[in-house]
Structure 1
């Protein structure tokens, strides 16, 4: 059950104070875990806070609003923790959830492939039975933070069946990772994964065989909500820096914020952020209430709205500061590329528009 509004306000304030006090990402992860913030969405019986994606999104948004997002939260507690909590065996829950909740354990999520980006139905990573266990083979790309996690939840397809989910230990024989050089410099590195005859025990399978599509989207909807929270937080951070600058930077004997050409774009950015936040909160509530269909639509729209608001806000913030907006001192230039990640991952804005046009408006498919 999600927290009451007053509890959410208290949570926001506490997390914001933590983000302002602790600046090193690793130290911040450790502190957030000790304080229960990383597992706020996981069941109390396994060391979590008993809340939902509503609370977890608040945590990520507030940390991002201090300029220090913990991007792995999108994957480890939100996707992997949710899937294991909902569909894992009792042994899997005991093995993973307490560690994910405390931050002691971390898990990546491997779905994207070279020939299967947004089209999860084209996944070619295979899982075949061998004795009492499984053998995985295939490739994944743009998998976040594999160098910092204990395992990866890999999406594979059984022979003649549908997608299913496996927990693969980082040191499993045949499981190799290669860093992907990126122009975007965030707190997580991206990797290509090669799975060559990776042998797994039977209990590496999460949930039911060939029932993975439902289980998969149980994790992907929280991923979209969390990406929206990430984008909202960074947008708020950029807007705050721009507003502070506009209040204090004086030209021709008055602050530049007194000029409508500066003030109005910042006001518009604030409005867009607040509107996107409302949709993000709605998506999280629908998911926590068990409305899968409603949450799917709202999560996509929240991610779209938050990403667009973030990109426009960061661009405007940089323009407000002029040359200073591109300096290291003010910390805005790096956000130009960082927020654009939310436009393309985990699903592009064009695919979200396809989803809304097909599922919501009932228009015919173009593919």
Structure 2
């Protein structure tokens, strides 16, 4: 059994459903401290939702050495109905060349690969030009308000400088290395309450139907071209997720209708501009309304540069393919790290089974993921050496 597989199994066996870390970070801390990392645990959140965050850093050969951060999460989503699993989700199980268990793909394999890749890299390069760090949270699959965002805020307050970050999200699609994320769209949700006047449905002249009033505005919003995207991002999308109106009775005009919606937006738009455009539509339709906004994250983008080049070369050398750069999919903790780090990418194993019953990873994918992380460190370190020599 490889060391990466063994550590992956150790992590899977810990039932770390958000926000419970279940001892995963203590296991990582022991391995990292043996490598010379200074490890710090930052606990955040209310008593009934305590989040554990690990910040571990090892200095480079010089005080001004650039820092590469491996970032990830030890928490996993709930298992779902246990009777639907073919084996216990927190007992690592092998079947037909696959490792089964909650977190196998998202993202305990990546975390194990971070650690073993770092161990191998430092064994060959005890004094690298890179400073190395790990940022691990137990609140990524949950609200994400006491996890990575708290660590990033703390680092910013301390003046900590980060240069490169690899988030271990499972980004591969058909095979390991076929896709990395070099950015993510922004996300912003809204709750719109359109107010009317409740009344008997047989006397509409004595009432005001907020559903009827809202529909023309919603149709206009659905038809708007918010932007056209760019070379890295698809166009901004506005989608309604929920509509609720009425008392349940068929003879009552409701007094209000509640509409939940979400923007997934490109770097061509700002949250503020999208809000103003939407409000202008509501005002033009003369709606009486309340509106609440929740900004989940701004878009971020890492254009091709030293980090992208380093991981592209690592993937090419390890698995022999040219990786695709993509900004598709949902959000990740990369949105928080990008606020304090100029180059953030995401790379990990195939994502076909994440959050599913019988989540698993092909055992044959585990070592290549680790090797790609290690090769990326080697490539970045080499580029820094050559840059210094130049």
Normalised TM-score (structure 1): 0.29
Q: Please state which structure has a larger fraction of its residues in helix.
A: 1
Higher relative contact order (CA 8 A, sep 6+): 2
Higher Cα Rg: structure 1 or 2? Answer: 2
Normalised TM-score (structure 2): 0.27
Q: Please state which structure has a larger fraction of its residues in strand.
A: 2
